[in-house]
Amino acid sequence: MAFEIVVVGTSMGGLAALERLLAGLPPAFPLPLAVVQHRRAGSNGMLATLLRRCCALPVREPHDKEKIEAGRVYLAPADYHLLIEEGEFALSTEGPVRYSRPSIDVLFASAADTYGKDVIGVVLTGANDDGAQGAARIKAAGGLLIVQSPETAESAVMPRAALAAAAADKVLPLSEIAPCLVSLCPAVQKETL
């Protein structure tokens, strides 16, 4: 089983959850991560700056048509949808989906479209149901779905909605999600041990 990309979606409570998740990934983590964190249209690069401090991997907001590289964390820029093409990112200013731009559903669906079963989707804390349809798309394409256990989420609405819409492969407390991602990449597991 060789995965191509990890896609992560979160909303309310997402900053603390992302800090925890990303801190658990080793510098040699072999997959790219694409992250949607809901935030207001006018936000700047502060989120990337905050996440960089606790993450061994480079964190950045991608440009349109930027090449997707392994071992990097890509944050959806504020007020753009982040989509995945073969090997590169694309951005869009189509209208908000479920009141959100960036939208988790949009990222997840395009990842599933492009990489099929080689996608790992992760749904974290959040106060709305964005991500649920995207989670279902990932499962329909044969990908793997991890959902933060609702009782450990700062806001349980988003994980619950994902669990209702799709059969998650794993429901885990936040602290176990990074180790699980590492365990899904056998090569890196050996290297870091």
Partner 1 sequence: MVANAVTKEEAFPHDKELEALEIELLVEAIYRHYGYDFREYAVASLKRRVASCLHAEGLATISGLQERVLHDPACFQRFLHALSVNVTAFFRDPSFFLVFRSRVAPILRTYPFLRIWHAGCSTGEEVYSMAILLHEEGLYERCRIYATDMNAEALRQAQEGIFPLRDMLEHSRNYSEAGGKGALADYYTAGYGSAIFPAWLKENTLFAPHNLAQDGSFNEFHVILCRNVMIYFKRSLQRRVHELLYASLTPFGILGIGSKESLHFTPHETDYEPLVVGSKLYRRIG
User: From the list 48, 84, 153, 157, which residue makes contact with partner 1 (rule: CB under 8 A)?
Assistant: 84
Residue 169 annotated to the active site: no
Residue 130 annotated to the active site: yes
Helix/strand/coil for 130: coil
Q: Among residue numbers 151 through 180, which ones bind partner 1 (CB under 8 A)? A: none
Q: Are β-strands 88-92 and 119-123 bridged in parallel, bridged antiparallel, or unpaired? A: unpaired
Interface pattern 38-77 for partner 1 (x via CB under 8 A): ---xx------------------xxxxxx----------x
Active-site position among 11, 100, 103, 110? 11
Q: Going by C-beta distance under 8 Å and a sequence separation of 6 or more, which residues neighbour residue 123?
A: 8, 9, 10, 104, 131, 132, 135, 145, 146, 147, 148, 158, 159, 162
Should residue 193 be labelled a site residue for partner 1 when binding is judged by CB under 8 A? Answer: no
The CA distance from 99 to 49, in Å, is 25
Contact 42, 155 (CB under 8 A): no
Catalytic machinery residues: 11, 38, 130
Contacting positions for partner 1 (CB under 8 A) = 2, 4, 41-42, 61-66, 77, 79-81, 83-86, 90-96, 101, 106, 109-110, 113-118, 141-142
